[in-house]
Structure 1
Amino acid sequence: MKNINFSKQVLPHIVAILSFLVITILFFNPIFFGNKNLDQHDILQWKGGAQESIEFREKTGEEALWTNSMFGGMPAYLVNVEWNDGIISGIKKALSLFLPHPIKNIFLAFLSCYILLLVFRVRPYLAIAGAIAFGLSSFMIIGLGAGHNARIGAIAYMPLVLAGIHLTFTKNRILGFGLTATALALELRENHLQITYYLLLMVIIYGIVMFADAIKKGEAVGFIKNSALLIVAAIIALGTFFGKFWTTYEYSQYSMRGKSELTTTSNTNEGASGLKKDYAFQYSNGILEPITLMIPNFYGGASSNYLVQDEDSEVLKALQRTGDSKAANQLARYTSAYWGNQPLTAPYYAGAVICFLFIVGIIFADKKYTLWLVIAALLGIMLSWGDSFKAFNYFMFDYFPGYNKFRSVTFALIITLLAFPLLGFIGLEKLIEKGLTKETQKKLFIALGTSAGVCLLVALFAGMASFTKDGETQLPGWFLNALQEDRKGLMRGDALRSLLFILIAFALVFMHLKKKITFPVMAGILSLVTLIDHWAIDKRYFGEDNYKRVRDNSFFAMTEADKEIKKDKDPSYRVYNLTSYTEARTSYYHQSLGGYHGAKLRRYQDLYDHCLGPETSELIQNLQAGNIDLSGYGIINMLNARYLTFGPSKTSIIRNNEALGNAWFVSSVETAKNPDEELQKICTIDTRHTAVVDASKFSLPKNITYDSSSSIKLTQYEPNHLIYESNSSTDGLAVFSEIYYPIGWTATINGQPANILRANFVLRALEVPKGKHKIEFIFAPKSYSIGNTATMISSIILLLLALGSIGWSLKNHKKD
């Protein structure tokens, strides 16, 4: 057994882990020293929608699987469901050194990228710099501030998966097998399939390039064997995710990610099965916008940064000179520093140092790595262009499997943000290995000239840009001129800033090649420079406003309106917040017609677009005119919106006595030939007395008569278990104000199975025989029960294989 050299083989890794830990603690110091938590908008909305599921779990110890808190009702798979994945969760906690959620994802990103660089033979002290660049890229920090915890968590494991794959092909196939299975299981557990999709694209490109290299070297058979081993690793990892995958896939067919059944809305704007193009590509980079990877304020910076807030801005001075405070306040709304066309954004900064090193990597790294990572980096940029490069991205949307399920295509830049530091530090290691010769010096100056040259050109010719977004040409000329001057100043200032950091990085590398400074000094200062570069940019978009006191629950503090509504002890009714359809604060205390979720049921969204939305607009207009007759709002009433709210006070509530309740018998049934006709009819019928059933999908009720004295009421409510009592002298059709979902729900009448019909486009209905009956609805999808068992078994297998691969590697290391 070889003696371990502590200073070379152990100490660097201790330094790396301690560095990552200290950086994480210092960057998020209010959490550790100020008794604060992150104030994340999307997480607040998630808490609102998840509260019913959380309370049910605390009360029963079981999973609800369905929630009625948002959009009338929907599966809770993508809201709040726990799985038998405690082993995977434990591995994550151990790897993150039990740091608090969600900031542990930044530490994991450091660690993951560090391991990746080590696997690609980058020495530890250099790998620290690369890991800092990846973990502190503004993409990560901005996402964390917005509450995109699953996205950042999935990104954190991307390098670890690549490390396992590359290790399998190059050094230690058994350890690589175990690392790949574990890393992929961790990646999949975050359940952000869009990021995993981007990772898959990187792996596919890697596989193609490396297979071509293997053929060239006559090693194709070995490549195929290693690939087979990785397929087994992937299967095991997928097993740990099987339950989530099955339920998500099952639900996706009926969610916004699935295809609308309406032929009137199906056109070239929509994929064969997925989102509409205008929705999917709403957030698309302009062609030049990826330059923000090197010059963050190239497009002005964050859209939320208003120049009028800067005391030294030209636009503020111009507004002050007007002397008209009313006009100035109106124009202040148009002072966003960002002048691109995205509705809401902030720049994704890779780092000036990293961009310089990326060029170094292109020049000096092994050609196979250069080919892989340059293609990957360009792919990330091209995908981020979205609508700005229709020919490519519409092709991807229409023909690439699964791609039309995703939106916010600028997220694809994470491919680029990983490729840049990886290739950069691989190339830097290769340059150092070759040493300083006339040839390497010439190539190094080419890298400097390319990267620094871009910054210099931007600084010198910044005035050639328009600095004007769509719609701003109508603004007063004096105001627009001041706005353009400020934006030009931001671009020029950051171009010079990036130039400075590139020159510093070049000087460090050059001085080491000239043997003026040692490797550890060069690597250490480079890490510090990288940290300073990213820290300063990140703090533009992430500061004290991103924190709140630990016990600050003011967002969900019960209002007077909430208190008044909660006096109603009926087990189930809905509240409609007329001030906003897309919010989930209402869902924290009540069952809501609205909500906040990117994967609501497609039929419910279609109902909102064609019926509920227009009906709501009409209702608001009538209420503003003093007309509070609610009898004519069939959609709102059939959704059992007993309370309408438009503010936090007790007086901002309207009790809707026209709401139809939890269930009712109808006197007539109208048939529809298809979903289009079904939706058209439901927008106009009297939902109190008439139901609409799609005859192409459901057998029509027979022998239905109406008893005006019949009754049906909800007697017991749980999200996944509803019990009704009915009483009627005739056979009838009961419509239930519960959202129809075809998988997992079963109904019984007096314990005997009953066929659930879909009525009124989104609701459930049952044929109920005469007499007194007990009616039950139970939600128990097999995809969860079977999938949860598979998750547990696969997690155990994964743990055993991971431990076995580590043990095998250690044993063979001792033999060496």
Structure 2
Amino acid sequence: MKKFDLKKDILPHLIAVLVFLIVTVVFYAPVFFDNKELPQHDITQWEGSAQELTSFRDQTGEEGLWTNSMFGGMPGYLINVEFSGELTKDIHQVLSLFLPHPTGIILIAFLSCYIMLLVLGVRPWIAIAGALAFGLTSFNIISIGAGHNSKVSAVAYMPLVIAGVYAAFHQKRLMGFVLTALGLALQLRVNHLQITYYLMLMVLVFGLFQLIQSVKEKTLPEFAKTVGLLLVAVLMAVGANFGRLWTIMEYSPYSMRGKSELTVDGVNEKSGLEKDYAFQYSNGILEPLVLFIPNFFGGTAQEDLGKNSNLEQALKKQGASRQQIQQSVQAAPAYWGDQPLTAPYYAGAIVVFLFVLSLLVLDRKYTRWVEVLVILSIVLSWGDNFETFNYLVFDYLPGYNKFRSVTFVIIIAILTMVLSGFMGLEKVLSEEWDQAMQKKFILSVAIAGGFALLAALLAGMGSYRGAIDERLASYPAWYLEALRADRASLLRVDAFRTLFFVIAAAAVIWLSQKQKLSKGLAYGLIITLVLIDMFGVAKRYLNGDSFARKAGKGEWAMSEADKRILQDSDPDYRVLNLMNPFNDAKTSYYHKSIGGYHGAKMRRYQDLVETSLSPELSQVIQDLQAGKFNFEQAQVLNMLNTKYFKAGEEARAVIPNPAANGNAWFVKEVVEVNNADDELMTMMSLDTKTEAVVDMAKFELGTIAYDSAAQVTLTAYAPNRLVYQSSSRADGLAVFSEIYYPIGWSATIDGEAVSILRANYVLRALEVPAGTHEIIFEFKPESYYTGNTITWIFNVLLVLGCLAFVGVSFREEK
């Protein structure tokens, strides 16, 4: 019987958790000790976009599911919708040890990577170092600083899924099943499908090499059993998020990520994102070298050059004031890569060195799939800097054209190098330190250390000109010369820094194997070196200056402009912020906005923005600057019931629009078209108060008349339910200033179901009979209500499965 050894079986893991907790608390010290918080741009924007749904939930206990606070109206699935029975949410809280969000995310990354390395056979003390390297990679830290919490949460669970898949293929099927199901369920819940897509690529490549190995060893039946078991685990994970995934998949075809109905030369060609948009952020060919030397390309577009920089000296010579020097030096455009704006995704000097070592010491069956993933990740991150391959992938790899910022794919290389590197270190520490092993070790030091030394010695030879320099064209030559000298200096300093960590880690391993250091001391030194390496770079991007005193609701204090607008008792009208409206969700906190901030707005609304709303907005601003208030010409803004323009935060900055069409109206004439192109084109010359355009290829329309005295009045408003009262002496077509969405919305007239038409490219319309009637729109998508039940069932099954595995694991067996 196997005896349970507390010191051996539990103590190392408790120490690991304690180390991870301490590192997390120290890293976020201002949160825990100074009562500060981390301002995050994207989270601030999210709070604005989510406020209507949050308030509705707090007031009614229901889910609104639809919000009118952004882009005239859109489903709330990707904004703020909760599903009952999501027990994975509670598991997430437990794994983060109930630390405040987002501080617990890197703790989860630590734990997840630690579990993965244990499953791969790495001893706990070395696994601690690997977990610290993964959790503190600048990919995670930079993303948290920007507010990409869901992205980092999805990254944090990647190792857990990899651990499950690896275990299943290495004779630990029960463990593999549970880790895969639980890890994937947790990852899907945080809802960042781009990272999940990258995880899928990793699993597919790993699975392909397992298949090849299985064919060689003639073990296909065993391979099939493992794949079958893992497919069941995937179904469990999908089931635990069924409602969330169903609603998102249902909405996706109608979002910017879906296929456009517009055509180019008569052919419908636009599907997914535009290439220019998707590849806007693409690594230069050499840019992945920042994985090894963080400031290889200067760091960020606003880098602190420190004291005694070349730029500082040049500014002093030009007689600049102390304040001017400080401002210039602390936010210098040091980055000189191909992207318009970026920050380096650093994997770690020691991690890359160990990765090189692993390629030399591990069996080929462990490294072939790793090599493919690292190379694939780097090539994909090049984006439009390697069009031949990446445009082909974008056009033909299913689902790939739904995502942007292809630099994110470098996380595959980061995770894979951690995985392989620490497996390689385990191999070195486990096997005999013979001459062959020593030669491989020395070669790996020569490769990694030699490259760092070469980069340091040749740092003065580059041009140090990048895409960002186009914005510096008006700067004097002395400024650019000093800046480029600082860029070279940043590379040189970081190259020597990388060289130090490579040599230091190599020395610890060498001395340990030569028995000049005890194993315990060697483990402690490796952990310390990794921590100093990763912590130091991470703090460049998230330091004490990144935190601020908790402002409470100060961020959302109601301005005088907001107060003036909210005096309007109309339950449903829209506001247009004249300052960058289509990248602003703060307006949505108090108002139903024409604009917003979201990467998956409705496709038809984006079409409208590009063809009509943006030109109208430009004209409105031009007229206002000229002292004109000619709002009658803003036909599209009027049909969206844009009742107020907001030009600032003062009360006088509010500009009422008396020409807004209102909540609903009857039209005199219907312009019939037969495709989306004509529908949108007609919109540009439509009198929206009296005319409507309807695509007759999609909708049937009966005979309508017009009563000039007819009215439609909104009597009750909720995000998911609108009630109107209509009065007309003739059968007519009523147009509503609400965004049309074909799934989930239903309409009744006096309790009788009627079909909802689409008018004016984006709005709802109804054929309303003569007389006085009550009209009700309700949003009750089956994908949410049925999906909610399925979600609950699979969450219970998942938790029961995890508890059963824990019970079995603790049984004493031979």
Interval containing the TM-score (normalised by the shorter chain): over 0.9
**TM-score, length-normalised on structure 2?**
0.97
- Aligned to 1:77, the other structure's residue is in SS state coil
1:327, distance to aligned residue in structure 2 (A):
11
2:466 is the counterpart of 1:469: yes
2:760 is the counterpart of 1:764: no
My pick for the range that moved more, 251-260 or 548-557, is 548-557
**1:626 alignment partner AA:** G
What residue in structure 1 maps to residue 252 of structure 2?
A: 252
- Relative distance call for 1:742 and 1:15 in structure 2 (3 A) is same
What residue in structure 2 maps to residue 808 of structure 1?
A: 808
What residue in structure 2 maps to residue 299 of structure 1?
A: 297
- Relative distance call for 1:558 and 1:345 in structure 2 (3 A) is same
What residue in structure 2 maps to residue 162 of structure 1?
A: 162
What residue in structure 2 maps to residue 202 of structure 1?
A: 202
- Aligned to 1:428, the other structure's residue is in SS state helix
2:401 is the counterpart of 1:404: yes
Q: Give the 5 Å matches for 1:389-788.
A: 389-470=386-467, 471=470, 472=472, 475-581=475-581, 582-702=583-703, 704-788=704-788
- Relative distance call for 1:451 and 1:265 in structure 2 (3 A) is farther
Whole-Å separation in 2 of the counterparts to 1:681 and 1:475: 47
- Cα deviations across residues 575-628 of structure 1 (Å, max 9, x unaligned)? 000011110110000000000100000100110000000110111111111111
Whole-Å separation in 2 of the counterparts to 1:495 and 1:699: 69
- Aligned to 1:490, the other structure's residue is in SS state helix
1:323, distance to aligned residue in structure 2 (A):
4.7
- Aligned to 1:708, the other structure's residue is in SS state coil
What residue in structure 2 maps to residue 375 of structure 1?
A: 372
Residues 264 and 676 in structure 1, CA contact (< 8 A), matched pair in contact too: no
Whole-Å separation in 2 of the counterparts to 1:342 and 1:457: 25
1:271, distance to aligned residue in structure 2 (A):
7.0
- Cα deviations across residues 254-281 of structure 1 (Å, max 9, x unaligned)? 00101221114998xx976210000000
What residue in structure 1 maps to residue 274 of structure 2?
A: 276
* Structure 1 unpaired stretches of 5+: none
1:220, distance to aligned residue in structure 2 (A):
2.2
2:7 is the counterpart of 1:3: no
- Cα deviations across residues 202-261 of structure 1 (Å, max 9, x unaligned)? 111111112222222232221211111111111111111111111111101000101221
Give the counterpart of 2:310 among 311, 314, 320: 314
Residues 603 and 761 in structure 1, CA contact (< 8 A), matched pair in contact too: yes
Whole-Å separation in 1 of the counterparts to 2:473 and 2:442: 42
1:805, distance to aligned residue in structure 2 (A):
2.4
> Aligned pair count?
809
Whole-Å separation in 1 of the counterparts to 2:806 and 2:327: 64
What residue in structure 2 maps to residue 289 of structure 1?
A: 287
- Relative distance call for 1:609 and 1:211 in structure 2 (3 A) is same
1:549, distance to aligned residue in structure 2 (A):
2.7
- Aligned to 2:810, the other structure's residue is in SS state helix
Whole-Å separation in 2 of the counterparts to 1:41 and 1:701: 49
Residues 578 and 620 in structure 1, CA contact (< 8 A), matched pair in contact too: yes
Q: CA RMSD in A?
A: 1.9
Residues 175 and 806 in structure 1, CA contact (< 8 A), matched pair in contact too: no
1:313, distance to aligned residue in structure 2 (A):
2.6
Whole-Å separation in 2 of the counterparts to 1:457 and 1:781: 61
- Relative distance call for 1:272 and 1:231 in structure 2 (3 A) is farther
**TM-score, length-normalised on structure 1?**
0.96
Residues 306 and 336 in structure 1, CA contact (< 8 A), matched pair in contact too: no
Whole-Å separation in 2 of the counterparts to 1:791 and 1:345: 38
- Aligned to 1:738, the other structure's residue is in SS state strand
- Aligned to 1:154, the other structure's residue is in SS state helix
- Cα deviations across residues 368-420 of structure 1 (Å, max 9, x unaligned)? 11111111111111111111111111111111110000001111011011011
My pick for the range that moved more, 4-13 or 472-481, is 472-481
1:127, distance to aligned residue in structure 2 (A):
0.4
Whole-Å separation in 1 of the counterparts to 2:456 and 2:260: 49
1:164, distance to aligned residue in structure 2 (A):
1.1
Residues 86 and 791 in structure 2, CA contact (< 8 A), matched pair in contact too: no
Whole-Å separation in 2 of the counterparts to 1:20 and 1:171: 29
- Relative distance call for 1:545 and 1:696 in structure 2 (3 A) is farther
2:361 is the counterpart of 1:364: yes
Whole-Å separation in 2 of the counterparts to 1:670 and 1:45: 39
- Relative distance call for 1:40 and 1:436 in structure 2 (3 A) is same
What residue in structure 2 maps to residue 105 of structure 1?
A: 105
What residue in structure 1 maps to residue 134 of structure 2?
A: 134
Residues 85 and 791 in structure 2, CA contact (< 8 A), matched pair in contact too: yes
- Relative distance call for 1:671 and 1:115 in structure 2 (3 A) is same
Whole-Å separation in 2 of the counterparts to 1:250 and 1:227: 28
Residues 168 and 174 in structure 2, CA contact (< 8 A), matched pair in contact too: yes
1:642, distance to aligned residue in structure 2 (A):
0.6
Whole-Å separation in 2 of the counterparts to 1:413 and 1:486: 27
Whole-Å separation in 2 of the counterparts to 1:204 and 1:436: 35
- Cα deviations across residues 147-166 of structure 1 (Å, max 9, x unaligned)? 11111111111100111111
**1:290 alignment partner AA:** P
- Cα deviations across residues 528-549 of structure 1 (Å, max 9, x unaligned)? 1111111111111112333233
Whole-Å separation in 1 of the counterparts to 2:646 and 2:593: 11
Residues 40 and 546 in structure 1, CA contact (< 8 A), matched pair in contact too: no
Whole-Å separation in 1 of the counterparts to 2:650 and 2:481: 45
- Aligned to 2:633, the other structure's residue is in SS state coil
Whole-Å separation in 2 of the counterparts to 1:343 and 1:75: 32
- Cα deviations across residues 524-573 of structure 1 (Å, max 9, x unaligned)? 11111111111111111112333233343322111110011111111111
Residues 302 and 541 in structure 1, CA contact (< 8 A), matched pair in contact too: no
My pick for the range that moved more, 287-296 or 683-692, is 683-692
* Structure 2 unpaired stretches of 5+: none
Residues 304 and 344 in structure 1, CA contact (< 8 A), matched pair in contact too: no
Residues 205 and 372 in structure 1, CA contact (< 8 A), matched pair in contact too: yes
Residues 303 and 331 in structure 2, CA contact (< 8 A), matched pair in contact too: no
